């Protein structure tokens, strides 16, 4: 009898071990988030919504839902609670009168800053123990993994170099192998951005090409 999908061994044992290692980090992230949000009397989703607004500025409700990979109804309910707690406020979208945008209040901005640090606090000591080259390789490898997950629609979109239309993989020099067309500067693996305000999403054809061409240099 064929076992259910969740009990099947991955075809490549190495891939299975990578998945398990990432799942361990995911468990830590969830536990840290749960602990931090309970302290602030928030749900983890409400805390994540605050962090998203802190990183991205004011957004439409649908944009927050997409970013956090939840339904419109789920995020609307979470935002209503945040509004009651005076952590966010709604205002009319100047570009479309029927649409509503959400922004952080001053109090919300303070809580979001703390929430953004919860995972960093837990992981920083371990990350700091890595060699410089190991850190750069890890960053570039993780970004490539996220890019493929984004391309396949499995994860929300981040403002990373590798998904930016200005990014040219291996368009730099031997020390800094990649290139940013906007900054007109070569960038190394360790300088790849995970949340760049100048990010401009590349068309899907370019994303596919980057996912194939991008190699971690270290
Ligand atoms: S604009 Fe920002 S995200 Fe885009 S390639 Fe340049 S540094 Fe990276």
For residue 143 and ligand 1, the question of a CB distance below 6 A is answered with no
The ranges assigned to domains in the chain are 20-128, 132-213
Token pair listed for 141: 């490898």
Separation of alpha carbons 88 and 47, rounded Å:
11
Please state, in angstroms and as integers, the Cα–Cα distance from residue 194 to each residue in 15, 19, 100, 162, following that order.
Answer: 24, 21, 27, 9
Q: Which residue's CA is the nearest one to ligand 1's atom 6?
A: 180
Question: Which atom in ligand 1 lies closest to the alpha carbon of residue 167?
Answer: 5
Contact between residue 192 and residue 178 where contact means Cβ atoms under 8 Å apart: yes
| Among 151, 149, 187, CA closest to 168 | 187
Sequence-ordered strand ranges (E) for 16-165 = 59-60, 88-92, 100-104
Contact between residue 43 and residue 33 where contact means Cβ atoms under 8 Å apart: no
Q: Which residue's CA is the nearest one to ligand 1's atom 3?
A: 161
For residue 158 and ligand 1, the question of a CB distance below 6 A is answered with no
Q: What is the mean pLDDT of the chain?
A: 90
**Which H or E run contains 146?**
helix 132-151
For residue 180 and ligand 1, the question of a CB distance below 6 A is answered with yes
> What is the second-level CATH architecture of the domain 20-128?
Orthogonal Bundle (1.10)
**Which H or E run contains 168?**
strand 167-168
For residue range 181-212, list pLDDT tens digits in order: 999 999 999 999 999 999 999 998 898 888 88
Is the whole model's pTM more than 0.75, yes or no? yes
For residue range 95-138, list pLDDT tens digits in order: 888 888 999 999 999 999 999 888 788 888 999 999 999 999 99
Q: Cα of 11 to ligand 1 centre, how many Å?
A: 36
pLDDT band at 50, cuts 50/70/90? Answer: very high
Contact between residue 187 and residue 200 where contact means Cβ atoms under 8 Å apart: no
Q: Is 89 exposed, middle or buried (0-12, 13-18, 19+ CB in 10 A)?
A: middle
Separation of alpha carbons 47 and 111, rounded Å:
8
């Amino acid at each position: 009898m064929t076992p259910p999908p969740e009990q099947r061994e991955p075809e490549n044992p190495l891939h299975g071990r990578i998945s398990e290692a990432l799942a361990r980090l995911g468990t830590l992230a969830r536990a840290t988030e749960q602990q931090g949000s309970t302290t602030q009397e928030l749900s983890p989703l409400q805390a994540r919504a605050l962090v998203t607004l802190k990183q991205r500025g004011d957004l439409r409700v649908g944009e927050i839902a997409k970013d956090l990979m939840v339904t419109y109804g789920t995020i609307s309910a979470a935002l209503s609670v945040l509004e009651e707690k005076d952590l966010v406020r709604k205002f009319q979208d100047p570009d479309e009168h029927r649409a509503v945008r959400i922004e952080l209040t001053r109090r919300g901005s303070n809580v979001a800053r703390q929430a953004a640090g919860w995972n960093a606090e837990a992981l920083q000591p371990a990350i700091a123990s890595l060699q410089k080259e190991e850190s750069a390789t890890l960053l570039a490898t993780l970004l490539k993994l996220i890019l493929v997950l984004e391309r396949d629609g499995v994860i929300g979109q981040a403002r990373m170099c590798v998904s930016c239309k200005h990014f040219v993989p291996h368009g730099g020099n031997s020390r800094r192998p990649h290139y940013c067309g906007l900054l007109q500067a070569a960038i190394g693996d360790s300088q790849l951005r995970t949340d760049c305000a100048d990010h401009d999403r590349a068309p899907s054809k370019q994303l596919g090409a980057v996912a194939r061409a991008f190699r971690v240099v270290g």
